[in-house]
């Protein structure tokens, strides 16, 4: 299974890549929504984990665009918030089509379980 | 001046009897003259009463004025003063009248060097304003010349007590900073959440891999280099958090307003780092530093504030939160026609903040420095921002210039006069590896109310070869030292602990043994003065989180420079 991580924070990308790879996934990394979309167009992924506040093209725009073009795509939104806290952004991400939302800092094991759930790998679809 | 009736009366008396056969005065005429005299006297009395009343009313009005008013002659001697002036000078009429204004207000024997009267006379201007501080009060002084037939007769000297306004202005500058902090807090929280995600995630991952519960086979076989990878990521994230805290502390510091020679470039760089953390990542933030940027006379916290406030304003001016903010710092030499009229010829350091946002109309540009003028929506800010900044900029003897075009953006430039001193200290510290300790290990007493910190500190120092003893508060440490006074070679203590603080512990130990060195660690800066620290035997002060490498290096220096022989 292929997962694309979109986040402008290099350390978060490294962490997610490492943990997802250890769980058996193939992982691609993009530093903003524009690059992420381009990578998806070139070679589709099974699931996307995207941050919301990023330069160039932020997460909301990315989720909207991906869901419009690929309605079946699975997306998990992650955010540490901005001027008004993550709880203000994540519900909007769900409204725009994200399947799940996680507030940073999140529990890595829970996130991986959620990824597996969305991909139907452990029978517990969140 | 004699009235007509009085003249007639005297004329009558002076009539010579020789010229008049009838020596007897005309009784009827005398009676008439007497009556006229009585009327005149009464009229004169009424006039005098009216004048007296007028003067009394004038004095009441003058004394009712809340401003101090003094009327001065050409030699600046007081010829009249109202009650507020007398009260302000804490004296009475006798000690004021005839004295010169500078003797009374400034307790000087000579005219003040920046006396506004000189300008009043030379420029024939009608109103000159200056500021003076008198016995703890801040006064705004208005001076007007008094002319009669085109000739200068004296001066009207009015002073208004603006101490309350001065205090409020100071509070508003601080409030504005707090407002900026509130705006920044959200942005900083974003960065902290990312940092925490990295730390917690790497710890979780390390534990998962150590327990071998991952899906892939290799996850159970955690090599030393794998573990090191996670630890490096944790340390990197920790250092990011440390930098962020240090930037917030710099910004939240109460400004002293005291100006000292300042290399401005590092202050600007630091503020830009904090800005990068606080502004949405949808905003591109660029910094351009010129060559050979010298020193200014300034307060670093206030420079920080100028930049933070101008940049957050620039961010609000960007359309939909998207756009670019360019920050520039360059030395400039102003000759010929300056970019703005207030700027005189000379060398300056120009700090500029330019955005490509909505821009401002000419009308708006004229009003932006007015207190409480704001373009923000209700609830978004008080509008004191630029007015407060203007005060700070003026105090730096700097000049601010605004260039803006509707739809294209705005550029604020601040010209700080450059200081002549050209010494640039290069303080790049070379990273050193901690010294391993020789065969006779020294004993270090570690004191901190956070058990995890004290345990970690002790473990790290032991790894470097020291013997350690731990205590969880000042009292416990003091009790141990009383019993083992000469067995401890160094105390590393936290400052902020319940009960006895680190400084108090050091002071108490000083009474028992005055050659025991102390290292004081604190999460806050400037909690202890240099003198207090020196008197208590504190040889080093560390801001938390403390790099173990630095701590070990300092301990090594203490032991190998001035080790006791006990």
Read off the pLDDT of residues B517-552 as tens digits, 9 standing for 90 and up: 999 887 665 567 767 777 888 888 877 777 767 777
Residue-wise pLDDT tens digits, B123-168: 666 555 667 777 778 888 888 888 888 788 888 888 888 888 877 8
> Quick check: A23 and B237 CB within 8 A?
no
Strand-pair partners of B142: B129, B158
**At residue B155, what are phi and psi to the nearest 5 degrees?**
-135, 150
- The better pLDDT of the pair B177, B566 is held by B177
User: Could you tell me which CATH class the domain B443-562 is placed in?
Assistant: alpha beta
3 state SS of B134: strand
Q: What is the CATH number of domain B169-419?
A: 3.30.565.10
ipTM over 0.95: no
From CA A83, how far away is CA A102, in angstroms rounded? 17
Residue keyed to tokens 């109309």: B361
Nearest CA in chain B to A78: B194
pLDDT confidence tier of residue B185, bands split at 50, 70 and 90: low
Q: Where is average pLDDT lowest: A73-82, B294-303, B527-536?
A: B527-536
The Cα-based distances of B447 to B10, B490, B493, B563 in angstroms read 109, 11, 4, 21
Instruction: Assess A36–B contact: CB distance below 8 Å, yes or no.
Output: no
CA distance B509 to chain A (A): 43
B474 versus B205: the higher-pLDDT residue is B474
Higher pLDDT, B62 or B253: B62
Domain boundaries, chain B: 4-63, 69-161, 169-419, 443-562
Q: Residue B193 in contact with residue B241, Cβ under 8 Å? A: no
- Kindly tell me if the per-residue pLDDT of B263 is higher than 70: yes
**φ, ψ at B371 (rounded to 5°):** -60, 140
Task: Identify whether the C-beta of residue B255 lies closer than 8 Å to the C-beta of residue B222.
Answer: no
> How far is residue A93's CA from residue A104's CA, in Å, rounded to a whole number?
14
Residue B156's H or E segment, with its range, is strand B151-161
Interface test with B, best of A34, A108, A111 (most B CBs within 10 A): A108
Higher pLDDT, A2 or B75: A2
Residues of B in contact with A105 (CB under 8 A): 193, 196-197, 199-201
Among A87-91, A116-120, B15-19, B455-459, name the one with the lowest average pLDDT: B15-19
Nearest-angstrom CA–CA distance, B128 and B138: 17
Paired tokens of A42: 């070139």
* Non-local CB neighbours of A84 within 8 Å, separated by 6+ positions: B186
Instruction: Say yes or no to pLDDT of A86 above 60.
Output: no
The structural architecture, per CATH, of the domain B69-161 is 2-Layer Sandwich (3.30)
Chain B residue with CA closest to A57: the answer is B282
B187 min Cα distance to partner chain A (Å)? 5
Check CB contact of A57 with chain B, cutoff 8 Å: no
State yes or no: pLDDT of B564 exceeds 50: no
Contact B193 A81 (CB under 8 A): yes
Residue B219, pLDDT above cutoff 60? no
Interface test with B, best of A80, A90, A121 (most B CBs within 10 A): A80
| ∠ Cα B213 A99 A110 (to 5°) | 20
* Mean pLDDT score across all residues of chain B: 78
Give me B459's structure tokens: 């473990």
How much of chain B, in percent, has pLDDT values that exceed 70? 75
Contacts of B376 (CB under 8 A, 6+ apart): B316, B383
pLDDT-derived band at B184, boundaries 50, 70, 90:
low
pLDDT of residue B445: 94
β-partners of residue A6 are: A30, A50
As a whole number of Å, the end-to-end CA separation of chain A is 18
Is residue B174 over pLDDT 60?
A: yes
Is A96 a residue whose pLDDT tops 60?
A: yes
Using 50, 70 and 90 to split pLDDT, how confident is the model at A118? very high
> What is the tally of helices (H) and strands (E) in chain B?
17, 17
| Contact between B348 and B415 (Cβ < 8 Å) | yes
Nearest CA in chain A to B204: A108
Q: DSSP secondary structure string, B43-85?
A: HHHHHHHHHHHHHHHHHHHHHH-SSEEEEEETT-BEEEE-HHH
Mean pLDDT of all residues in A4-27: 93
Percent of chain A with pLDDT over 90: 61
| Radius of gyration, alpha carbons of chain B | 38
Contact: A12, B196; criterion CB under 8 Å: no
CA angle at B110 for the pair B109 and B113, rounded to the nearest 5°: 135
CA distance A16 to chain B (A): 8
Strand partners, B77: B100
Cβ proximity of A51 and A7 under 8 Å: yes
Tokens of B304: 């920080």
Quick: pLDDT tens for B459-510. Answer: 778 777 788 899 999 999 999 999 988 889 999 998 888 888 888 999 899 8
Average pLDDT in the B422-431 region? Answer: 39
pLDDT at B129 (0 to 100): 63
Cα separation, B125 vs B136, in Å, equals 30
Residue with tokens 């008004």: A84
Q: Which residues of B touch A104 (CB under 8 A)?
A: 193-194, 196-197
Answer whether residue A111 shows pLDDT above 60: yes
Q: Which domains does chain A have, with CATH numbers?
A: 2-118 (3.40.50.2300)
Model confidence at B217, in pLDDT bands (50, 70, 90)? very low
Q: Where are the beta strands (DSSP E) in B235-369?
A: 260-263, 283-289, 295-298, 323-334, 346-355
Phi/psi at B548 (5° precision): -60, -30
* pLDDT at A55 > cutoff 80: no
Please check the confidence at residue A15 and state whether its pLDDT lies above 90.
Answer: yes
Q: Is A12 on the interface with B (CB under 8 A)?
A: yes
Q: What is the DSSP letter of A86?
A: G
Decide the pairing of beta strands B409-419 and B295-298: antiparallel
Q: Which pair of tokens denotes residue B168?
A: 């409020």
**At residue B565, does pLDDT exceed 50?**
no
Cβ-defined contact of B197 to A15 (cutoff 8 Å): yes
Chains A and B form CB pairs within 8 A to the count of 95
Residue B343 DSSP one-character state: P
% residues pLDDT > 90 (chain B):
16
């Amino acid at each position: 299974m292929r997962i694309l991580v979109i986040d402008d924070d290099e350390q978060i990308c490294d962490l997610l890549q490492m943990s997802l790879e250890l769980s058996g996934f193939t992982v691609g990394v993009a530093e903003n929504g524009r690059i992420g979309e381009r990578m998806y167009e070139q070679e589709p992924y099974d699931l996307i984990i995207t941050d919301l506040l990023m330069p160039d093209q932020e997460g909301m725009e990315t989720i909207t665009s991906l869901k419009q073009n690929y309605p079946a795509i699975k997306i998990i939104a992650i955010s540490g918030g901005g001027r008004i806290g993550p709880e203000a952004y994540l519900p909007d991400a769900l409204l725009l089509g994200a399947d799940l939302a996680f507030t940073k800092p999140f529990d890595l094991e829970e996130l991986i379980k959620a990824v597996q759930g969305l991909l139907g790998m452990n029978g517990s679809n969140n | 001046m004699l009235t007509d009736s009085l003249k007639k009366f005297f004329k009558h008396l002076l009539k010579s009897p020789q010229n008049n056969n009838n020596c007897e005065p005309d009784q009827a005429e005398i009676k008439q003259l007497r009556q006229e005299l009585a009327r005149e006297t009464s009229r004169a009395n009424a006039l005098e009463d009216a004048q007296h009343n007028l003067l009394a009313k004038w004095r009441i009005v003058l004394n009712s004025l809340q401003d101090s008013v003094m009327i001065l002659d050409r030699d600046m001697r007081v010829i009249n003063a109202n009650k507020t002036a007398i009260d302000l000078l804490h004296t009475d009429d006798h000690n004021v009248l005839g004295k010169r204004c500078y003797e009374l207000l400034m307790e000087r024997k000579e005219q003040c060097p920046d006396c506004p009267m000189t300008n009043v006379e030379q420029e024939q201007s009608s109103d000159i304003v200056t500021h003076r501080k008198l016995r703890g009060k801040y006064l705004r002084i208005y001076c007007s010349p008094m002319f009669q037939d085109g000739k200068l007769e004296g001066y009207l000297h009015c002073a208004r007590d603006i101490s309350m306004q001065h205090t409020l202005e100071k509070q508003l500058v601080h409030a504005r900073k707090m407002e900026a902090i509130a705006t920044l807090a959200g942005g900083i929280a974003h960065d902290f959440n990312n940092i925490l995600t990295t730390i917690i995630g790497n710890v979780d991952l390390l534990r998962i891999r150590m327990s071998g519960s991952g899906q892939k086979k290799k996850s159970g076989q955690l090599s030393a280099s794998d573990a090191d990878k996670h630890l490096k990521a944790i340390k990197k994230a920790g250092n990011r958090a440390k930098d962020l805290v240090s930037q917030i502390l710099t910004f939240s510091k109460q400004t002293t307003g005291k100006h000292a020679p300042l290399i401005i470039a590092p202050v600007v760089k630091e503020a830009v780092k904090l800005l990068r953390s606080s502004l949405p990542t949808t905003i591109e933030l660029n910094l351009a530093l010129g060559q050979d940027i010298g020193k200014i006379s300034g307060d670093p916290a206030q420079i920080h504030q100028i930049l933070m406030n101008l940049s957050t304003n620039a961010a609000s001016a960007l359309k939909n939160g998207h756009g670019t903010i360019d920050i520039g710092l360059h030395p400039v030499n102003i000759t010929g026609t300056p970019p703005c009229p207030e700027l005189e010829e000379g060398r300056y350091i120009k700090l500029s903040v330019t955005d490509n946002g909505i821009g401002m109309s000419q009308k708006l540009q004229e009003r932006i420095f007015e207190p409480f003028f704001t373009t923000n929506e209700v609830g978004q800010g008080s509008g004191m921002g630029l007015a407060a900044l203007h005060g700070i900029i003026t105090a730096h003897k700097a000049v601010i210039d605004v260039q803006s075009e509707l739809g294209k953006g705005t550029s604020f430039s601040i010209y700080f006069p450059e200081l002549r001193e050209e010494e640039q200290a290069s303080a790049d510290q070379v990273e050193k590896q901690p010294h391993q300790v020789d065969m006779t290990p020294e004993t270090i007493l570690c004191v901190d109310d956070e058990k995890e910190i004290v345990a970690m500190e002790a473990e790290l120092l032991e790894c470097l070869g020291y013997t350690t003893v731990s205590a969880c508060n000042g009292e416990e440490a003091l009790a141990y030292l009383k019993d083992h006074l000469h067995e401890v070679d160094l105390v590393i203590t936290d400052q902020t602990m319940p009960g006895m603080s680190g400084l108090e512990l050091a002071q108490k130990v000083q009474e028992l043994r005055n050659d025991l060195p102390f290292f004081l660690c604190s999460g806050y800066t400037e909690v202890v003065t240099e003198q207090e620290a020196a008197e208590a035997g504190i040889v080093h002060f560390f801001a938390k989180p403390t790099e173990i490498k630095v701590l070990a290096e300092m301990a090594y220096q203490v032991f190998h420079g001035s080790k006791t022989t006990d």
